[in-house]
Chain A
Amino acid sequence: MPDFITIVYLTFMFVALYFFSFFIILTIKNNEKLFSYPKPEKKFSISVLTPAHNEEESIQDTVEHIMALEYPKNKMEVIVLNDGSTDNTSKIVRKLMKRYKNLKLIDNEKNLGKARSLNIGIKKAKGELIAVVDSDSFPSKSSLKKLSGFFSNQNMGAVTSFVRVRNKEKNRLAKIQSIEYLIMGWSRKLLDFIDSVYVTNGPLSLYRKKYILEVGGFDPATVTEDIDITWNMLYHGYKTGMCLDADVSTVAPNNYKVWFKQRMRWGMGGLQAISKYRKMFFRKGMFGAFILPFVSFSIIMSLLTFIFSIYLVFKFLAVRFLTVGYSITTDSAIFKLQEINLYPSVIIFFFVVLFTLSTIYSWYVLNKTKYEQNITTKKFFNILFYTIVYLSVYPIVWFASIYKFARKDLTW
């Protein structure tokens, strides 16, 4: 009988193998359909809502990108929801309104938060569909048209886009997030094939207005209204989808402090959603049978792997540290070649196989999603950095999120 540590290792390996096989099978089965999207049967009227709070630096660019969308202008209105900005956001939008007749502005005197602003905007919106575009995001020209085709399905409640990092050349953190966003988008698309898209992102998502109102709008009590609205739609039995060919670029945090705050907010939002819909576990179709357990299990596995790895690393370091001390005391060599063990174990073989396969798969995903024209050695190093370092330290965000969530501290 293997010892406890081996059993834990083997369990992790099996779970990793399962999910790896899961995504590979989905990729193979749907390879032809990954970038396809339904052609719209009709031209829906769309209201594009852009909540903005002190976004004077990016709001003009965002509005110009929205206005450049390949969608009939008579079928589209754009509403900027100025959420109590203290900078020149409102002034810039007013200036733009002279240029664009279908651009509107709703000014909140006070900062009400994104969810409340969106709810105000939805009430005023005339479109059958509501597009939400973050004020630091820039949709590609054909994105809205491609997303709208999904709504030919009467049960479709929300469809999300493929987010790319706009400032990816800024520094290492931005580059790594660029890889992360592409892999996240890809896996989200794969989950679409089993009706399990569980986040409709802030940079660009399209919703059916009727269903948003039916589920009660965006919940102001949550810190990630995009996760909550998606789960709410799923809870009410509506479909969610993802279009890999509908691009939007966004500005990712390029310093660790901002990144950490953003991720902690995402983490808390995820925990809030799990807590809010906990009674749905193993009920209500794919939502309860797969999405809720999958998200919860991913968090638990990520934390357990981290705890276990830290324990092993610290144990190894403690043994090495003590050995160095004892070696000095006994005047013997601190390190001897005979201590090197070149006989690998089965666990190491498993790990190497999984790591190699997942790196190859990441490379494949990045090529398919046109991460770069040519993936050079330096860029390949970024993939390795993402796989080895970024994903390994990410559970720290989960710990911080759990801590804050447990303390009911929902500020960020």
Chain B
Amino acid sequence: MKMLSNKHVFWEALIIAMVIFWTGIFLGVLFESSRANKIEELYFQAETDIFDIQLEGELLSMFESSCEQALKENIDYADRIYLEARKLGKYDAATRITEDIVRLHKRYDLLRVMLWKNMIQLQQKCPSKTNVIVYLYQYDNPSTNKQARQITFSKVLSDLKEKHGDSIVLIPIAYDTNVKSLNILKERYELNTTPMIIINQKQKITELQSVEDLEKIMFENSEDNKTQNTLFLN
């Protein structure tokens, strides 16, 4: 009798473990989906805004209106999706089961590429002191060394942005999420390594730099920005 009732423990434990495990997974999926939904709401707003800004840019160029307004809209937009990117990054680090955040990441990268294109066009049309800094990084499984370099790059760029505020548009884009439009830019302009900083479509920086060094690079070239078209995106 003793063994008969106790031997059931093998499958009883299996059932209980499976129930707890799958409940955990189910709650995890719900939890991750709810996080993704929060980001998705922001994303939809960001998506609407980018179309609005694009259209606004086109209209402004049609009516030869002020560049200032368009530039301001783009900078504000860039700042907002930069902050959203940070939040997305933190959710991303805590996401284990679903692919929702990964998909959102890709969609955000798409928006950032559109923003970059907008900024290029705007810089051509409206010379200004605004610096466009694109930061390309490896999203999927970077090596230990690359991960450390990317963390440092992020910190330096964050410091730079804090210091210079609106005079910098910071656009971080994942290099390896297979966004086709980015792939075209990568091929065409030989953006073939990460992490990489691209300043005003002129300078490609792959070595770690201090905030001061980046400032020097940016401001030495800022005069050229007003007069020249971009170096490698022409």
Contacts and interface: CB of A to CB of B under 8 A. Distances in A.
Interface residues of B, number: 47
B148 A29 contact: no
B234 to A, nearest CB: 31
Given A194-B7, A322-B145, A341-B90, A331 B97 contact: no
A329 to B, nearest CB: 6
Nearest to A318: B144
A185 to B, nearest CB: 18
Interface in B148-176: 148-149, 151-152, 155-156, 158-159
A343 B12 contact: no
B28, B148, B158 pick with most chain A CB within 10 angstroms: B148
Contacts of A19: 13
Contacts of A329: 152, 208, 210
Interface in B19-40: 20-21, 24-25, 27-28, 31-32, 35
A338 interface: yes
A21 interface: yes
A3 B98 CA distance: 10
B150 to A, nearest CB: 9
A14 interface: yes
Contacts of A349: 24, 27-28
Contact of B31 (A325, A327, A346): A346
Nearest to B25: A346
Majority secondary structure of chain A interface residues (helix, strand, loop or mixed): helix
Given A332-B152, A333-B155, A343-B35, A21 B16 contact: yes
B62 interface: no
A393 interface: no
Contact of A346 (B28, B99, B151): B28
Contact of B9 (A194, A319, A320, A327): A194
B2 interface: yes
Nearest to A329: B208
Contacts of B155: 327, 330, 332-333, 336
Nearest to A7: B96
A155 interface: no
B120 interface: no
A196 to B, nearest CB: 10
A308 to B, nearest CB: 15
A330 B16 contact: no
A238 interface: no
A194 B16 contact: no
A323 B148 contact: yes
Nearest to B151: A323
B134 to A, nearest CB: 19
Contact of B17 (A2, A9, A14, A344): A14
Contact of B93 (A3, A321, A322, A341): A341
A21 B99 contact: no
B95 interface: yes
14 contacts: A1-B99, A10-B21, A14-B21, A18-B13, A194-B3, A319-B144, A319-B148, A322-B144, A322-B149, A325-B148, A329-B208, A332-B159, A332-B210, A332-B211
